[in-house]
Amino acid sequence: MNKAQLVDEVAKVTCSKKEAVAAVDATLAAIKKALKKVMLLHLWDLELLMSEKGKPAQAGTPNRQGH
């Protein structure tokens, strides 16, 4: 499903296509923002592991927080 198809589906339950576009845009923006935060946290976690051990973490090795 692409964005236009999603807008069409949302438009079926809203008053107008304009409202549907606004709703889809707001939803996608919120998802992008959340994903950026998660990515930054993962990068920070990796950086912390590298600085503590002096080398990249081994695959499958949990960090101090149990992640």
Which tens digits make up the pLDDT trace of 1-43? 999 999 999 999 998 999 999 999 999 999 999 988 888 878 8
Residue 58 or residue 33, greater confidence: 33
Helix or strand holding residue 10 (H, E): helix 3-11
Q: What is the pLDDT of residue 44?
A: 78
Where in the chain are the domains?
A: 3-53
| Cα separations in angstroms, 38 against 27, 43, 45, 65 | 17, 9, 10, 16
pTM for this prediction: 0.60
